[in-house]
Copies of this chain bind each other. A is one copy, B any other.
Amino acid sequence: MINYSNGRNFKEKPVKSSKIVKKSLSFSHGNRGMDLEADINLSNEYYKENEACLITKRPTPINVVKVDYTKGAVITNAYFEKQSTTDYNGVYKGRYIDFEAKSTLKTSSFPLSNISKHQIEHLKHVLRHDGIAFFIIEFAKRDQVFLLDASYVIDFYEHGTRKSIPYEEVVNNGHEIKKGFAPRLDYLEIIEKNYMIS
């Protein structure tokens, strides 16, 4: 079992530079500090290598203000922009897949403040064009990860009376994602079972 002792909501604040540098290196499989994003990236690598599907992560959008060309295009002034879409998209059996991954340290509910209005709008567009859209939600302290359909989250976001989705609702309306060595998080199994009925 993975111990998420340092589980954190990796979406709530800009990542530190040291974190980014770390992410470009390969991870040790024994690393117990791995977060949700790293787990998903590893799962996607596994899926790609095994030709199961192709899901890629969108790079973090950065607004470049100044570039120093005297040193060979070094960016000397820039800032992080908020992702106006989601973090991941790709293809499985010809179908378009799009999702956002979020982790919370709360145990009783998933706060909707983690999700931006832009992301909701983006996922509504995806659904309009018959794409497969969902959220991967981690309850870090419970060591549980769920796949929750985007339409459910959108409905809760727009018409719900609460500002967070209760844990029980996630359990009842989502699908718990099986954890393993490879893939770390087998969310494709859930897509195959629940979205590929044609």
A contact residues vs B (CB 8 Å cutoff): 14, 16-17, 20-21, 24, 48, 51, 53-54, 56, 58-67, 69, 73-81, 85, 89-98, 125-126, 128-131
For residue A110, give the distance in angstroms from its CB to the closest CB of chain B: 25
Interfacial chain B residues near A60, Cβ < 8 Å: 59, 62
Residues in B with CB closer than 8 Å to A53 are 129
Measured CA separation A60–B128 after assembly (Å): 27
A93 contact set on B, CB distance < 8 A: 129-130
Q: Are B62 and A126 in contact (CB under 8 A)?
A: no
Nearest residue, chain B, Cβ from A133? B91
CA of A182 to CA of B154, assembled, Å: 30
Contact A48 B125 (CB under 8 A): yes
Residue among B59, B67, B89, B95 making CB contact with A61, cutoff 8 Å: B59
Chain B contacts for A97, CB-based, 8 A: 96
Q: Which among A73, A97, A129, A130 has the greatest number of chain B C-beta atoms within 10 A?
A: A129
CB distance from A25 to the nearest CB of B (A): 12
B24 pairs with A91, CB closer than 8 A: no
- Distance A94 CA – B94 CA, assembled complex (angstroms): 8
Smallest distance from the beta carbon of A188 to chain B beta carbons, Å? 11
Assess whether A24 is in contact with B63, with CB atoms less than 8 Å apart: yes
* A95 interface neighbour in B14, B56, B64, B95, Cβ under 8 Å: B95
